[in-house]
Amino acid sequence: MFSLSSTPPNNSYYSGRVTWYNRAVTVDGTLHAAGCRRVYATAWAGTTPLDTRSSSTHCNNDSEQTINLVADVPGGSDHVYVSLTDANGKVLDSGYYYRP
């Protein structure tokens, strides 16, 4: 489980879970957008980025967001980087989440 959030006055958040597969990773959760927000995720194998994708921009709503990442290397991804951004791409919160 993970949770990213912005500070007041725009209390946006993206919280959910990361699911690991052999050569793929899924990041899914609820995006609460106060203002306009977007979620990015990058799958990594060690220090090598494998795939980066994002949601579309959402403004003043709640939505379920699923980001499917390709990790087409032996063993797949060992961690992902997830970030919550504003409409201009400024990172409001982020975190690294490691494969158990």
pLDDT value at residue 84: 97
**Taking the model in full, what pTM does it have?**
0.93
Total residue count of the chain as it appears in this document: 100
Strands 48-54 and 58-70: unpaired
d(Cα 77, Cα 48) in Å, to the nearest integer? 9
> What are 12-71's pLDDT values in tens digits?
999 999 999 999 999 999 999 999 999 999 999 999 999 999 999 999 999 999 999 999
pLDDT value at residue 93: 95
